Amino acid sequence: MISIQNLRKLFPGPDGPVTVLNGISLEIAQGETFGIIGRSGAGKSTLVRCVNMLERPTTGNIRVAAREMTTLNGAALGEARRGIGMIFQHFNLLSSRTAAQNIALPLELIGHPRGEIARRVDEMLALVGLSERRDAYPAQLSGGQKQRVGIARALATKPSVLLCDEATSALDPETTKQILALLKEINRSLGLTIMLITHEMEVVREVADRVAVLDHGEVVESGRVFDVFTDPRHPVSRSFVGEVLNRELPEALASRMHQSPSSAEHLVFRIIFTGPSANQPIVSEMVRRFGLSFNILQGHVDYIQGSPYGTLTVEASGTEQAKQSALDFLRLNNLKVEILGRVPATDRAVA
């Protein structure tokens, strides 16, 4: 549905061209919700604006619904844009128009008959749950209601693609949940392809199927949301995931740990559970099999796209052979293990 190949975008600067996007390549399938996440200045908003040619790429190719966007101009570009809806962080509603009139605007601009516009506006107001607020002006609407109007306006021309540029950044947490739930329902019921730009990993976790992490204009990691959350490879990805899933050790524990092995010391390691393994009584089984003693330091279970993901940090005491056998046992059961370090036997770790 959306194919981006080797996309580069340069802007003029006082000391020469500044590269904002550097060789971006992405494939987004029809009906998929794809998240683009990055810090401020990573290039994510420029990327989404290139998709509908609000910004012209310097080099590269962008295909949306089999159209090569970079070759289009004038009427052909206008026609292609009608198949691409867009919603913005700050809503961009006309203050002099009611909710219904804002939704009608794109249909008026392309010359739809008045009766057809009225029917479509009614459909869109019902879709976003604002039928009773059709005659309210933006100043009379809450932030969430304004964004609902923005979504309805973006969908008025029946696009196949919806671009969301920081669509929830101006909203409070509860309203954000409501808007994300609406986007999920729209994706499900209309089969829309959604490209979601955000700097919040919680937003990605809530609605996206796959995600690409941008840093300094480059894709540094991409994949299924569950995979990126549970096994982030790049430091930027790990930073984003850490904001949602806190895996940092308490400072008092981390300061006492070191790496050199000794049979007189206790081993500290983290077990990572995903999917069905999250329900296994793995610690009790290791106690029974290998005679180890465990001090549970830290634990957390979360759900990502409906699948459980948990971490358990433990301190193990026993013989070195028993510790190694326990680690081998965990790996044979397809559990990921991270060795974090060791603490002296006389200085038990405290979470």
94 with 234, same domain: the answer is yes
Q: For residue 243, which phi and psi values (nearest 5 degrees)? A: -70, -25
Name the pairing type of β-strands 161-165 and 84-87.
Answer: parallel
According to the model, what pLDDT value does residue 351 have? 45
Among 216, 244, 272, identify where a domain stops: 244
14 with 135, same domain: the answer is yes
According to the model, what pLDDT value does residue 350 have? 45
Among 192, 224, 244, identify where a domain stops: 244
In a domain, 349, yes or no: no
Kindly state the tokens that stand for 1.
């549905």
Chunked into runs of 10 residues, the chain (351 residues) has average pLDDT values of 95 92 96 95 93 95 93 91 91 95 95 94 96 96 95 95 91 92 93 94 92 96 92 91 75 67 74 71 86 86 81 88 91 86 66 45
229 with 306, same domain: the answer is no
In a domain, 265, yes or no: yes
172 with 263, same domain: the answer is no
Domain around 325: 251-344
151 with 130, same domain: the answer is yes
Q: Which residue has the tokens 């796209």?
A: 305
Q: What are the beta bridge partners of residue 34?
A: 195, 210
DSSP annotation of 184 reads H
According to the model, what pLDDT value does residue 113 have? 94
- Supply the CATH number for residue 102's domain: 3.40.50.300
Return the number of other C-beta atoms located less than 10 Å from residue 29's C-beta: 11
Return the number of other C-beta atoms located less than 10 Å from residue 196's C-beta: 28
Exposed, middle or buried, 309 (CB in 10 Å: 0-12/13-18/19+)? Answer: buried
- Supply the CATH number for residue 313's domain: 3.30.70.260
In a domain, 258, yes or no: yes
- Residues 60-96 pLDDT 10s: 999 998 899 999 999 999 999 999 999 988 889 999 9
User: From start to end of the chain, where are the E strands?
Assistant: 2-11, 18-28, 33-38, 59-64, 67-68, 84-87, 161-165, 193-198, 210-215, 218-224, 265-274, 293-304, 307-317, 336-344
> pTM value?
0.84
